[in-house]
Structure 1
Amino acid sequence: MFTKWKEQELYQDLNARLILIGIVSSMGALGFGFDNGWWGSALGLSQFQYKYGSYNPSTKKWAIPSNRTSVGTGTGSAGIILGCILAPFVTTILGRKKSFLILSALMVVGVVLEATALTSFWQLVVGRIIVYSGIGLASNLVPMYQSECAPPRVRGAYLALYSFFTSLGSFLSTLTVFLSRSRSDQWQYRVVILCQLFVPLVYVSAYVFIPESPRYLVYQGRLDEAERVMRTLYNHTENISEEVQLLRLQVEEQQELHKAASVMDCFKGTNLRRTICAMGVQILQQAQGVSFIQNFIVVFMQQLGFSDSLRSNVLVTGCGFAVHIITFITFDKMGRRLSLIVGACGLAAMMLGVGGTTAKGVQNLSTSAQNGCVAMLVLWYCIYGITWGPGPWVVAAEVGTGQLRERTLFLASMGSFVTSVPINFVNPYVQKAISGSVTFIYGGFSLIAIAFIWFVLPETKGRSLEELDEMFQAKLSTREFKLYVCTGLGARITKLEAGAEDEENIEKAGNFHEEKA
């Protein structure tokens, strides 16, 4: 068994330092999941409802009004959009590494405001906006940094870390809220908020161990630094010097073929197709209902009649987190297209199943029907965790060309979070009006996602970022990507990154370098 494991690409291409920086860089994703999780769970806490809600004489209970639920949830998305707008400027001017410090500063300020909002709901909202602006920066920075550091054969597994830690953060926060629910004081939920300070603490503590992205260094012409970083990251170091030169030549080639520097360039020529792929998967990730699950699942289960909806929420998020481990294998084995198509089919089935069960109302559901709905929501989150959770981040980080990677990711994450804004603002009202039938809407978007992946998204697994440049520029059809044989600089870079001894290609690279000189 150990011999077979040594033959696996994960064993051959990953090492302790790559794993370490992958975990450290993913702390921004942990913060994202944590803040989402505590908010969605806190909406069901009695102390939170008493502090920020209003008394309903008919039910004799305190509750958060729909308008405050809508504002509190939706403004988080507004903060993410602000962070996405800042991201291309911060990551380009300061570099990937220093951007982690900006992310940390935003989270510290936001968490302090959230935790000290003793009486003011609007202070809590402002704190969420600032925290989520850091999360918006992280949603661009983390996948980009990881895609530029990872070897191509395991890039899918490496980028799955973002979704894995988002799910972990969501599970930890819902679990902490559940364990603190017996408290009757103001610390019932504030302890969860303060736990988010763990994220900036890790970034600051581990800052000296985080290298700058080697591809960013190449883009900046800092070739010696790029070579030193790559020698510490990659297991196959025998051809690092040649690889750095090929990366430099590829950058020069891209600049000669089509100079691109602005957001508008993302919509020109072959870049338009890349942008559609990146934005499409991110928009459809939100449209299939993840914001509904993360933010409104507790309220939804209370509508179903569950007396202990917080416990059920822990079950949903816990199962969703547990299955994320599978994604470290599936995306590089099954590929991006198959994983996302199978995932969308499963997500559609679960949401439509819940809608069908609750179509006649949720007031008189039998116990078996209630349990069936929770089971389908658990399965939905599990399927999401191994497919559409990591998938859009993997795709969005891969498809952009080197000159526009920051801006492509900006547009992709903007598409995702702009989609989440109307969902977060409108869902409380729609859910109140039509109850369980709201899941029909999300199931319908899963059917649209199947068509989008089938007709639009090409297969990108196992290719270097530079190979993908060649393939998009060749204007291949969606189904030609999988079997296409690259012959340019990207193919040589892929072989060198895999440790292949290819003297002919190295010689060609040297000849090309001499011709350029």
Structure 2
Amino acid sequence: MALSILPKHLALRETFNRRLTLAILLITFSQFNFGFDQQGFAATQAMDSFAKQFGEYNPETKKYFLPPVWLSWFNGINYLGQATGVILGSWVSKRWGRRMCMFTMSLWAVVCATIIITSRTKEQILVARILNYIYIGMELAVVPIFQSEICPPKARGFTVGTYQISLMLGGLCVNLVARGTSSLTGNLPWMIPLGLFYVVPTTVAILIWFIPESPRWLLMKDRPEEAMKVLRELRVGKFEDHEIEAEFAMIVDGLKNTVAQGSFMDIWRGTNLRRTYIVIGANFFLQATGQLFTALYGALFVKSLGTVNPFTITCTIAAVNVSTALLSMALTDRLGRRFMIHFGSVVQIAALMTMGALGTVTPTFGIKSGIIATMVIFNFGYSFGWAPTSHTLSAEVPNMRARDMTYRTASVLNIATQCAVAISMPYLLNPPYAALGSKVGFIFGSIAVASLVFAYFCVPDCAGRSLEDLDWLFEQRIPARKFRSTEINRQQEAEARKLSNDVALEQVEMKQV
């Protein structure tokens, strides 16, 4: 077979025209709110003013505190809302389009932000966070898929990687705001950071109708003229007419030769079974290797160590996450998904096991500082490996017609894993329960080892491949480690299929004669 050329690097100026750039930027901006929520609440939980408003008074220490049981519910039950949002968002996205899903979820987010800001009891803010996570779930269901469907194949890893970096940028912004407001009095320290929840959905709701719909979604709805028009808008000026027409023909061909699938049972049949396991595994290890420990409880954990200002550390970790995500976004299509995950997992394993080992000795100031350092190193490995690539794999690995159902199923597992980890963390970290402290590094480190084994044997390298090329590779049952080196010539394949059909037709005509 002839060589299917894989790009050695991504030339942004030769790939993104103005229309595509603005569309990607708006979709990416939407994800800021997930970072606002996750890091915003993680930071405010470490504030004395938040504990005074929503916690309980300890007469012995003469301070307000947030009970571990309530923390477990506050950081865990919200994923029930996210699971609902994933199912709802996937349904809206599939039936009414990617833009309609983003519009409706943004309106919902504005309502939830109002409930959060006006909360004065722990019951109200708990319910408000659950409702807000419906928005987060809808976002998870539509953003990576929308991005992967409108960008050129060679830019897919870079583009979908913006999903994770925008989450981290949102976390950095809200941590910096929380660092600045932490010294204020009253409820302002926690209300100002959480007030950022208004900014993103309001902007997206206003601008979403100015970007084009997904051409693949339009084709699935039997609207080929609109699909071709949109594809031209997204490629004009950077691709020749024959290249645009070839890409459109490839999408159409992929849809025609894909059996109409999409039900829950269908994703477990045939070649879809392997693809489903890959996406599910990526989503599980994304959340099970320890990132929620630093994301949700990092500020509280650092505060309990009593070494440095917890908000300084959360800002440092957020800055590391952003810079590493930028690096990985630039390298993912050049180095490939497998290398990114392998390298990142090794760093995670080293950091987590070291963290656990430091927790077994007397906690001197130096030991505590070392534990904090391992948290920073761990986040580097996570942000380089699983964080950006899991979303890319989830968007590109599923079969075209089964993509929504596969992504929805994997996202529900993703959320269930987050829920389990978030609920268990207060009991694992604090007395009078397990009180493991930094020894939880042994637990997450062991899971990280399993993630490395899974990545080596199961995760394919999809860099530079069109979604239609990936369909062919899975149909041919190519091993994961050979995905990037396998040669494909879809034009020859299409001609061979046409010749086969012509021969079959001639045989039928001869029998009739």
TM-score (norm 1): 0.91
Match of 2:224, as an amino acid? Answer: L
Q: Is the 8 A contact 1:303 1:435 kept in 2?
A: no
Match of 1:86? 88
Flag the 1:27–1:373 CA change in 2: closer, same or farther, 3 A.
Answer: same
* Deviation of 1:330 (Å): 1.4
- 1:483 is the counterpart of 2:485: yes
Match of 2:139? 138
* Deviation of 1:174 (Å): 1.3
Match of 1:41, as an amino acid? Answer: A
Match of 1:220? 221
CA distance in 2 between counterparts of 1:174 and 1:312 reads 10
- 1:238 is the counterpart of 2:236: no
CA distance in 1 between counterparts of 2:314 and 2:355 reads 16
Flag the 1:7–1:82 CA change in 2: closer, same or farther, 3 A.
Answer: closer
Match of 1:109? 111
Q: 2:57 aligns with which of 39, 55, 58?
A: 55
Give the alignment of 1:61-210 within 5 angstroms.
61-118=63-120, 120-210=121-211
Match of 1:42? 44
Match of 1:340, as an amino acid? Answer: I
Q: Is the 8 A contact 1:157 1:331 kept in 2?
A: yes
CA distance in 1 between counterparts of 2:17 and 2:171 reads 28
Q: Is the 8 A contact 1:246 1:509 kept in 2?
A: no
Match of 1:468? 470
CA distance in 2 between counterparts of 1:105 and 1:513 reads 50
CA distance in 2 between counterparts of 1:466 and 1:263 reads 22
CA distance in 2 between counterparts of 1:262 and 1:201 reads 34
Q: How many residues are aligned here? A: 492
CA RMSD of aligned residues (A): 2.3
Q: Which runs of 5+ in 2 are unaligned?
A: 1-7, 506-513
CA distance in 2 between counterparts of 1:301 and 1:515 reads 71
Match of 1:250, as an amino acid? Answer: G
Flag the 1:273–1:117 CA change in 2: closer, same or farther, 3 A.
Answer: same
Match of 1:343? 344
Give the match's secondary structure for 2:191. helix
Q: Which runs of 5+ in 1 are unaligned?
A: 1-5, 493-503
Match of 2:285? 284
Identity %: 27
Flag the 1:249–1:204 CA change in 2: closer, same or farther, 3 A.
Answer: same
* Deviation of 1:27 (Å): 2.8
Match of 2:508? none
Flag the 1:516–1:456 CA change in 2: closer, same or farther, 3 A.
Answer: same
Q: Is the 8 A contact 1:85 1:410 kept in 2?
A: yes
* Deviation of 1:307 (Å): 4.7
* Deviation of 1:217 (Å): 1.0
Q: 1:451 aligns with which of 439, 450, 453?
A: 453
What does the per-residue CA deviation read over 1:155-181, in whole Å, with 9 as the maximum and x for residues that have no partner?
Answer: 110111000000011111111111101
What does the per-residue CA deviation read over 1:376-435, in whole Å, with 9 as the maximum and x for residues that have no partner?
Answer: 211211222222211100111000111111111111211111101111111101111211
Give the match's secondary structure for 2:64. strand
What does the per-residue CA deviation read over 1:132-153, in whole Å, with 9 as the maximum and x for residues that have no partner?
Answer: 1111111110000001011111
Match of 2:255, as an amino acid? Answer: V
- 1:13 is the counterpart of 2:15: yes
Q: 2:25 aligns with which of 23, 26, 34?
A: 23
Q: 1:254 aligns with which of 258, 266, 269?
A: 258
Q: Is the 8 A contact 1:277 1:456 kept in 2?
A: yes
| Greater Cα offset, 99-108 or 20-29 | 20-29
CA distance in 1 between counterparts of 2:387 and 2:365 reads 30
| Greater Cα offset, 189-198 or 338-347 | 189-198
* Deviation of 1:34 (Å): 0.7
CA distance in 1 between counterparts of 2:9 and 2:46 reads 49
Where has structure 1 moved over 4 Å in runs of 4 or more?
504-517
Match of 2:44, as an amino acid? Answer: A
